[in-house]
């Protein structure tokens, strides 16, 4: 037989269970085989019966088989014929709203039962019927229902079962302390599903505690009670989670005297799965109107109305202070940072927003500055204790203005990012083509790209990817102007351009060094018997001699010069190809250095 709740749960029908493990050894093999066949047949018949019942009455909450050991209790309490003791007792739970149709439903289910060849006795109940059993303190019967074998369950039986198992674990551990174990919530209302939380209340007797403080007792017992939650869920094989509330008897009684609404609701609606004569008297007294709040409790609850109004006003101010104010101020500061400026102080933010985006850039309308100004003004009034309360109407207006302002800020962000992207792509384009013009000369974009490919990339002076990067930069700029680009493409272009520019700068420097190498000569001469070296540099029609950290210029004579003059001449020479040394230079060098030779 299948278990709707847990496929791995026990797979034998309680009626077929053997008395104990010792008897099992005494049963002959042939007889055991016949019993197993009979059990399989019973399973199939019950599955067939369940399907037939659900086909007619899909609203049924649960169908289960009562444990064999509990049958005598039902026979005694419900006046069931004694001869049914060996029958399979089938429990069917229907919703409370179907109570008026009980006889009709029972008749049709009995008709389906009679089609089977099994001896089955039907118990038809609603959740209220089940809980009436608990209210009559027939806890053994309630336990039998909770632990019945499920054939079908929408959640009611599983929720009841996990509570029953948890109760048993708690009582087994410290029964003498437990006064009442009560269920409430969706389970009691008959609304439990397979994922419903199961609300339980446990009242602990602390009146005779002497060895430890009451609070310590409560915490110890509470820890154990919570420890059993997962264990009970695993044993029950359900998804329902227990949600326990633990009360000491003394504090519970104080709550009753103070007319705590939660406690009154708990007493009124709760159903005991276990009670030592405490919960049911409370329930009866409440029903009779004997549990009444003290005058002090009435005063306390009446005063809560005034406190509620004060709390509501404070809550409205809190919305203004923490939500509205910071909700508009922080994004405003963020956009100023996005614009490229450091974040202003809260007091400066309104003026900065107005100066940058209204007056300078003309990107924001005046009404949005007015909204920001009003919200900041209200906050200042609060700081200076001029504003002590604010109405709900004003908050509604502020929230609407805040929503409009934040929506406009999102649009402003897009405008700023677009402008930033435009500056970025134009700067990238300008930097790259400025370098290329320095290398190739001033030409049209198409001619520069063509010459760059043919003269530099194809000749192996720069890698192949350089021309692809250059074209990507041009395409990114073109797409941006057409409105087809995005921040991702711009960022990719920026990263690629940085690599290309480093390559171009490196190439330009190598080219300059190659030009300078053509203008240099290294000279070796002797002075005071020591070997010395000097450099001769020809640049821009001038010849410079660098000797012993001195720079001299050679024209028709040798005269002192400086680094600035040399650097200027070298920069001018970069644009020229030819380098000339007049013969009279070497004659003047002989007078300056004496005998010398040119070395590499």
Give the model's pLDDT for residue 288: 82
Between CA 235 and CA 273 the distance in angstroms is: 18
Give the model's pLDDT for residue 80: 83
> 303 falls in which pLDDT band (50, 70, 90)?
low
Q: How far apart are the first and last CA of the chain?
A: 102
pLDDT in tens, 305-323: 455 556 666 677 777 777 8
Name residue 246's beta-bridge partners: 202
Query: For the chain, what are the domain ranges?
Result: 1-152, 155-293, 299-390, 419-515, 528-599
Give the model's pLDDT for residue 217: 78
Give the model's pLDDT for residue 22: 31
Residue 65 has pLDDT above 70, yes or no: yes
Show contacts of 164-169: CB within 8 Å, 24+ apart.
164/273, 165/232, 165/235, 165/236, 166/200, 166/228, 166/229, 166/232, 166/242, 166/244, 167/273, 167/274, 168/143, 169/228, 169/231, 169/232
Between CA 462 and CA 452 the distance in angstroms is: 9
DSSP, res 100: G
Whole-model pTM over 0.95: no
Q: Which CATH architecture has domain 155-293?
A: 2-Layer Sandwich (3.30)
Q: What is the mean pLDDT of residues 288-307?
A: 58
Give the model's pLDDT for residue 11: 37
pLDDT in tens, 97-154: 988 899 999 999 999 998 887 889 999 999 999 999 999 999 999 999 999 999 999 9
């Amino acid at each position: 037989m299948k278990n709707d709740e847990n496929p791995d749960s026990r797979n034998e029908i309680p009626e077929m269970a053997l008395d104990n493990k010792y008897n099992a050894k005494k049963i002959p093999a042939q007889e055991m085989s016949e019993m197993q066949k009979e059990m399989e047949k019973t399973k199939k018949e019950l599955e067939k019966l369940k399907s037939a019942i659900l086909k007619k009455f899909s609203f049924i909450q649960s169908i289960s088989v009562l444990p064999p050991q509990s049958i005598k209790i039902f026979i005694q309490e419900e006046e069931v014929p004694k001869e049914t003791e060996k029958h399979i007792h089938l429990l069917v739970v229907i919703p409370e709203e179907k109570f008026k149709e009980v006889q009709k439903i029972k008749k049709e289910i009995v008709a389906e039962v009679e089609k089977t060849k099994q001896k089955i006795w039907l118990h038809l109940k609603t959740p209220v019927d089940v809980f009436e059993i608990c209210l009559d303190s027939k806890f053994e019967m309630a336990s039998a229902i909770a632990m019945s074998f499920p054939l079908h369950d929408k959640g009611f039986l599983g929720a009841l079962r996990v509570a029953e198992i948890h109760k048993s674990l708690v009582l087994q551990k410290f029964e003498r302390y437990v006064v009442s174990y009560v269920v409430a919530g969706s389970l009691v209302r008959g609304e439990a599903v397979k994922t419903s939380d199961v609300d339980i209340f446990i009242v602990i007797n602390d009146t005779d505690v002497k060895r430890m403080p009451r609070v310590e007792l409560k915490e110890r017992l509470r820890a154990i009670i919570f420890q059993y939650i997962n264990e009970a869920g695993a044993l029950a094989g359900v998804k329902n989670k227990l949600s326990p509330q633990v009360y000491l008897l003394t504090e519970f009684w104080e709550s009753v005297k103070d007319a705590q609404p939660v406690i009154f609701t708990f007493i009124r609606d709760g159903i005991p799965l276990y009670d030592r004569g405490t919960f049911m008297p409370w329930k009866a007294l409440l029903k009779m109107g004997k549990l009444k709040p003290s005058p002090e409790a009435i005063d306390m609850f009446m005063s809560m109305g005034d406190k509620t109004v004060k709390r509501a006003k404070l809550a409205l101010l809190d919305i203004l202070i923490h939500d509205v104010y910071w909700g508009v101020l922080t994004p405003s500061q963020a956009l100023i940072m996005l614009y490229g400026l450091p974040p202003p102080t809260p007091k400066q933010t309104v003026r900065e927003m107005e100066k940058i985006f209204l007056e300078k850039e003309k990107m924001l309308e005046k009404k949005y500055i007015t909204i920001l100004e009003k919200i900041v003004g209200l906050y200042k009034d609060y700081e200076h204790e001029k504003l002590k309360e604010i109405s709900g109407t004003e908050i509604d207006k502020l929230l609407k203005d805040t929503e409009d302002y934040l929506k406009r800020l999102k649009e402003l962000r897009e405008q700023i990012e677009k402008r930033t992207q435009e500056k970025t792509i134009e700067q990238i384009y300008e930097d790259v083509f400025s370098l290329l013009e320095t290398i190739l000369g001033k030409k049209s974009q198409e001619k520069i790209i063509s010459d760059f490919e043919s003269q530099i990339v194809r000749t192996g002076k720069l890698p192949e990817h350089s021309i692809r990067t250059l074209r990507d930069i041009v395409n990114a700029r073109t797409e941006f102007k057409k409105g087809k680009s995005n921040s991702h493409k711009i960022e990719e272009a920026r990263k690629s351009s940085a690599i290309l520019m480093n390559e171009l700068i490196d190439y330009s420097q190598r080219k300059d060094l190659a030009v300078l190498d053509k203008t240099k000569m290294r000279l070796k001469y002797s002075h005071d018997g020591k070997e010395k070296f000097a450099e001769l540099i020809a640049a821009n029609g001038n010849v410079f001699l660098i000797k012993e950290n001195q720079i001299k210029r050679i024209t028709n004579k040798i005269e002192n010069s400086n680094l600035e003059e040399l650097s200027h001449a070298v920069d001018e020479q970069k644009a020229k190809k030819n380098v000339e040394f007049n013969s009279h230079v070497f004659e003047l060098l002989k007078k300056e250095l004496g005998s010398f030779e040119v070395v590499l």
